[in-house]
Structure 1
Amino acid sequence: MTDWRQRTPTIVTPYFLRLIFLLLMFYPAPGIAETESWETLNTAGMLAYQEKDFITAKELFERALQTLERGERPDPHAATTFNNLGAVHERLGEYEQAELRYRNSLAVIEIIQGPDHPDIAMGLNNLASMYFSLQAFEKAEPLWQRALTISEKILGDRHPHLVQPLVTLGMVTQAQGKFDQAEPLYLRAIRITEHALNPQHPRLIPLYERYATLLHQAGRPEEAGVIGQKIESLRTANANTSDHQ
């Protein structure tokens, strides 16, 4: 499953999606409520979110939740809508409500899919990203650590898709001054990238830049200088490559 906040519903074409949205906006009569479905409301909510009409998106997602049956086992659609509501609350600065909805989403996914499903990692990332933006680093760190562990179980320990989770966890540990924990995460991300691509690939430059910043903050300027030379070497090598293409 893709990131729920970025996922574009594919159940209707864009033209009809806009038409549905307009109907819900301007004709919310009681008779229409009888025909409302989760798909219709969630799709309209996604459109409102994409158009940055977060108040309307929140209302539509809340109505979408109301269409779902309450049983012993939660409806899978609830996970998506809880997460969408979390994103809306976050955009509105309603952080306590956003946290609750993100956690609601995670709880539903865990019941249905289990604790190590890829969707859990995605949900953890959404909640951790909010914490990071609020500089609540101590809350974000364990969530990103768990997300990385889930990804490692699924992908192995050298998959290129681990680079971003490693860097993200490195950033949150670095932000807390835990340089000894951040360093191996950055180095591992560098090694995976070198193995997956090549030791001169331009994608290594931002990784080395982040590592150099860590070394400076850790009071290791000489080592940071060596990495700085490595960065310049990579830039030169890639500039020469571009010139010959």
Structure 2
Amino acid sequence: MLKVRQEGIGSIVEFGCGLGYYTEMLAANTHARVVDVNVAGTLDALVVIYFVQGKLAEATPLAQRALSIYELRVGKNARELVSPIKMLGAIDLMKGDLDKSEPLLKRAVKLSRKFFGKRHTEIAKQLGNLGALCMAREKPAKARRYFEEALTIWGENPDPVYGVMTMVNLAKVHANDGDRDRADSLFRKALALREQAFGQDHPQTRNIADSYAEFQKKAGISGKP
């Protein structure tokens, strides 16, 4: 089965605070028996931190709780639901539970389009995850459509991290289909963008360089990336 990387969720740095801060906030609100959108927001932050750390077992119940609070306080068709829904979809995708992941990711895309517009980068991230899901289901044609739609959005909103990962995944789809020229072009572009953003020695750059080298070896293409 072709391996693809799941699209980015976010960075702990974006929150400006760490695990301890949000854990203390949650404990205080729980002790006071506060159940409102502020608690759900704290849960959202903890979910992302645990997800980035690979602690899916810890992240899952917190995302479920956040979703329940939001649905209770703001309804089942509100903007606030996007975060816990997309995270639950991403968690299930990481666990390999594709049947649970797919409807969650599609629901997140639908809500995001409603509240953020059709060309928002949030949608591109979720489309990238749907593409990864389709590759796991061995449906490369559907995966390609999701990746291409995501890249169209990234083209309008360049991002050296998330957009590049979608580019790499699409390159792998083309490589799997035997379209070496298209795959090679995408790998080269992705590697150049990552080098420009982070430098040649950054781990994220090296990950792409390694994927490109593996592609070159399998495709019988000589030369350095």
**Alignment TM-score > 0.5, same fold:** yes
**What's the counterpart of residue 3 of structure 2?**
none
**What's the counterpart of residue 94 of structure 1?**
97
Structure 1 residue 35: Cα displacement: 5.7
**What's the counterpart of residue 56 of structure 2?**
54
Structure 2 unpaired stretches of 5+: 1-6
Structure 1 residue 176: Cα displacement: 2.4
What's the TM-score once normalised by structure 2's chain length? Answer: 0.69
**Letter aligned with residue 4 of structure 1:** I
Structure 1 residue 16: Cα displacement: 3.3
Whole-angstrom distance in 2 between the partners of 1:54 and 1:182 = 32
Larger radius of gyration: 1
What's the TM-score once normalised by structure 1's chain length? Answer: 0.64
Corresponding position: 1:176 with 2:180: no
Check conservation: 2:144, 2:170, Cα contact below 8 A.
yes
CA 1:13/1:189 → structure 2, altered by over 3 Å: closer, same or farther?
Answer: closer
**Letter aligned with residue 128 of structure 2:** N
Corresponding position: 1:145 with 2:180: no
Q: Which has the higher contact order (CA 8 A, sep 6+)?
A: 2
Give the 5 Å matches for 1:116-155: 116-133=119-136, 135-155=138-158
Structure 1 unpaired stretches of 5+: 217-223, 235-245
**What's the counterpart of residue 238 of structure 1?**
none
**Letter aligned with residue 10 of structure 1:** F
**What's the counterpart of residue 219 of structure 1?**
none
Could you say what the CA RMSD is over the residues aligned between the two structures, in angstroms? Answer: 4.0
Structure 1 residue 107: Cα displacement: 0.9
Whole-angstrom distance in 2 between the partners of 1:88 and 1:208 = 27
How many equivalent pairs are there?
207
Whole-angstrom distance in 2 between the partners of 1:58 and 1:210 = 34
Question: Which of 200, 211, 217 is 1:213 aligned to?
Answer: 217
Check conservation: 1:141, 1:172, Cα contact below 8 A.
yes
Whole-angstrom distance in 2 between the partners of 1:40 and 1:187 = 40
Whole-angstrom distance in 1 between the partners of 2:150 and 2:131 = 10
Q: What percentage of residue pairs aligned between the two structures are identical?
A: 18
Whole-angstrom distance in 2 between the partners of 1:160 and 1:44 = 25
